[in-house]
Structure 1
Amino acid sequence: MPQLPTSSDREYRYNYNQDSSFSTLRNVLTTKLAAVSDIIQQARTWYLEQSTIKQILLGGALVVIGVISVLMVIFHIHIIRFLIYLSDEWHNLKYGSLIIFALVFMVGFPPLIGFSALSFLTGMIYGCPQGWPLIASASVLGSTCSFIVYRYVLHNQAVKLMNHNDTFRAFAEILGEGNSLFLLILIRLCPLPYSLSNGALAAIPELPLLTYFLATLITSPKILIHLFVGSKLKQIGDDKSSGGTKIVDIISIVITGTAATLAAYLIYAKMQQKLASYHSRGIAADDVMVFGNFEDDLELGSNEIELNSADFDADNFIIEDDDNEDDPNQQGNGNNVKKDNGVQTSEEIL
């Protein structure tokens, strides 16, 4: 007899769901920590494989980076004030916007870096969204020109860039099948290296230039996040701003940066799921090509010809109908004539 759910059942389901959520979170954290540990181990192994001179140079570079990071934390107020001074002087330059355009255009070509820094600087100089037309046009034009150069002039370098990164290689496989504008838009929204993605995507021969241009143009509003953070950094360093305003600006920067990062990695995770689904379908298709589709064979059972053992004699010849047996041309002088696919054989009746 069916029973209505009791309070104990609801409490059990609540505790079960809560435990399941905690276990899922714990599994995710464990996986991430294992991945970080694996990366550290690979880096350590690679470092030990280098020569002594390279090990010394790499160690010195790490020390310099660490010192710079510590100095930036200690003197961040002075750094922000210097950037504010630089942005004001840059804004007064006659060809300041042209210099920004040229720099953003150039960093679209791999292996150059600095797109994010230039975006923050543009936000400090021109504000948000006033600086968006300048940096968006430079970004779209630079990315498109980089795509053209690496597609038709430096194609071998583009292939090396694509094969150097497993993510780029996986995206190349899925884009080579569909040429979908939507998929390329998702890829452009993923947290991938700016200039390297321009060169790596150029190695996909099935990717049209128009599709790449449209995807870059459609995703250009994401630069507004960099402009917003840059403009807020300038307001934080302004001595005229009150303490409450600075706190609000800091909170807005943290919220904006966190939301943008979370959204980018969610898109990246969705793309990874799509890639996994794509590869699983590819493996299933290969199995069908090798072993056949047994489900289709079962579905065709109603259309197949059923063979009965009663239709054959002892010599495995098909027994003809009575009309053929009564034909006088197929009988003669004690011989019983049998036909199998147009070939006549006779057996003497004992």
Structure 2
Amino acid sequence: MATDQESSNSRIEQLFLIPKRLGKFALGRYQRLGTFGKVLLFLWFLVNVLLVTAIIVITPSSIFQFLYDESVKLSHARFGFLILASLILLVSCPPLIGHTTLVTICGFAYGWKIGFLIGAISSIVGSATVFLLLRFLFSSRLRRWSRKNEKFMALESVVRDKGLPLIILIRVSPFPPWVYSNSLFASIESVALWQFVIATTFVFPKILLHAFIGSRMAALSDGGQRHEMDTSTKILNGCLVGGGIVIAILASWLVYTLVQKHIRKLEGVPTCCG
């Protein structure tokens, strides 16, 4: 009994030491940064402080009401969905980012059903377009670069041997992110377009989840809808939004962990990928 108690106390002490260790690690990383890196970090911190200040001054309710009003205008526009579709196609091109945000906006503006359709179809078309553009316009450059990189050549060899199952595993993993995943597969000659498209369809559950989160956020953003909701409905919608975000984070972490665990078992996979 005493041993179990000591073991429990030791675990608690270890938990309390985590913040201290993280603080030391962060301070050490900061001290190793050059002048340019420290300036960038300061600017990043300043932008975030200004952003939080602006949110407090303007008030979150006013900001979300503005976003809701604009999304209603977008959804009622004749070709509003094409604007979102075009933006999703655009952010599928490296080095741009924002795919998840735009899919959430699809759900915010059009509801989770139509929002999912817009996000899913646009994601397929956008990623396939980028795949083809990189493959045919920059194939020689990508080939020259890959031949100089031993780790990349090892990854390409394993993907060629394992085929579609491994392509799907890497595609559903949150790392590399969406836009860089498009670039990665375009640069691997052994990956065919049909394999890439099929693997991309396995990202649909994630797109559906973000579209659903967007639709619940819209319901809470409009003052009129909020006033008509009773307290329990507001709490339910808030829990759905928060729960959806938590599920998305946990699912991404779980998928990434499982993918990395599986990839490490494959022979010839470079350490950067496993």
After TM superposition, the score normalised by the length of structure 2 is: 0.78
Counterpart CA distance in 2 for 1:104 and 1:90 is 15
Amino acid across the alignment from 2:70: L
Q: 1:69 deviation in Å?
A: 3.3
Deviation, structure 1 residue 261: 1.4
CA distance in 1, matches of 2:262, 2:207: 26
- Quote the residue 2:198 is aligned against: 214
Residue number among 255, 260, 283 corresponding to 2:243 in the alignment:
255
Q: Which residue of 1 aligns with 2:86?
A: 102
- Give the direction of change, closer, same or farther, for the CA distance of 1:19–1:55 in structure 2 (3 Å limit): closer
2:32 equivalent in structure 1 = 45
Aligned equivalents of 1:43, 1:157: Cα separation in 2: 34
Q: Does the Cα contact within 8 Å between 1:87 and 1:125 map onto a contact in 2?
A: yes
> In structure 1, what is the Cα distance between the partners aligned to 2:190 and 2:27?
36
Distance 1:270 1:33 in 2: 29
Partner of residue 68, structure 1 = 51
Superposed displacement of residue 136, structure 1: 0.9
Q: 1:270 to 1:29 in 2, by over 3 A?
A: farther
In structure 2, the CA distance between the partners of 1:184 and 1:280, relative to structure 1 (3 Å rule), is closer
Aligned to 1:245: 233
Alignment of 1:67-146 (within 5 A): 67-72=50-55, 75-146=59-130
CA drift of 1:281 comes to: 9.1
Q: What's the secondary structure of 1:232's corresponding residue?
A: helix
Q: CA deviation at 1:259?
A: 1.6
Distance 2:216 2:63 in 1: 15
Q: Which residue of structure 2 lines up, in the alignment, with residue 348 of structure 1? A: none
1:197 and 2:181 matched: yes
Shift of 1:171: 5.9
Question: Does the 8 Å CA contact 1:120/1:226 hold for their aligned counterparts?
Answer: yes
Instruction: Name the CA shift for 1:33/1:122 in 2 (closer, same or farther; >3 Å).
Output: farther
Query: C-alpha displacement at 1:104, in angstroms?
Result: 0.9
What do the CA deviations read for 1:290-313 (whole angstroms, capped 9, x no partner)?
A: xxxxxxxxxxxxxxxxxxxxxxxx
Structure 2: unaligned runs, 5 residues or longer: none
Does the 8 Å contact 2:68/2:218 carry over to 1? yes
3-state SS of 1:112 partner: coil
CA separation in 2, counterparts of 1:30 and 1:170?
39
The structural deviation recorded for 1:278 is 2.4
SS of aligned partner of 2:54: helix
Q: What aligned pairs does 1:120-199 form with structure 2 within 5 A after superposition?
A: 120-155=104-139, 156=141, 174-179=158-163, 181-192=164-175, 193-199=177-183
Q: Offset of 1:152 from its aligned partner?
A: 2.5
Please state if 1:272 is matched with 2:256: no
Letter in 2 for 1:194: W
State how far apart, in whole Å, the 2-side matches of 1:270 and 1:140 are: 24
CA-atom RMSD, angstroms?
3.9
Aligned residue identity for 1:79: I
AA aligned to 1:229 is I
1:227 to 184, 203, 211: 211
Query: What is the deviation of 1:31?
Result: 8.8
The more displaced of 36-45 and 248-257 is: 36-45
Distance between the aligned counterparts of 1:173 and 1:31, measured in 2? 40
Partner Cα separation in structure 1 for residue 20 and residue 179 of structure 2:
29
Residue identity matched to 1:260: A
Structure 1 distance, partners of 2:142, 2:23, is: 29
**For residues 16 and 193 of structure 2, what CA distance do their matches in structure 1 show?**
40
The structure-2 alpha-carbon separation of the partners of 1:32 and 1:106, relative to structure 1 and needing over 3 Å to count, comes to farther
Residues in 1 aligned to 2:119 and 2:243: alpha-carbon distance in whole angstroms: 23
Deviation string for 1:22-68 (max 9, x for gaps)? 96x9989989986886576445423x153xxx754653343123321
Structure 1 position 146, deviation (Å) = 0.9
Q: SS in structure 2 opposite 1:278? A: coil
Deviations along 1:215-243, whole A, 9 cap, x unmatched?
A: 11232232011111111111112223323
**Which is helix-richer, 1 or 2?**
2
Distance in 2 (alpha carbons) for counterparts of 1:31 and 1:157 = 42
Change in 2 beyond 3 A, CA 1:255/1:73:
farther
SS at match of 2:218: helix
Identity across aligned pairs (percent)?
Answer: 25
Q: CA deviation at 1:263?
A: 1.6
| Deviation for aligned residue 1:178 | 1.3
> Normalization by structure 1: what TM-score?
0.63
Contact 1:147 1:202 in 2 (8 A): yes
Give the whole-Å Cα distance in 2 for the aligned partners of 1:151 and 1:28: 48
Matches within 5 A, 1:264-303: 264-279=252-267
Asked if the contact 1:159/1:200 (under 8 Å) is kept, the reply is: no
Q: Which structure would you say has the larger Rg?
A: 1
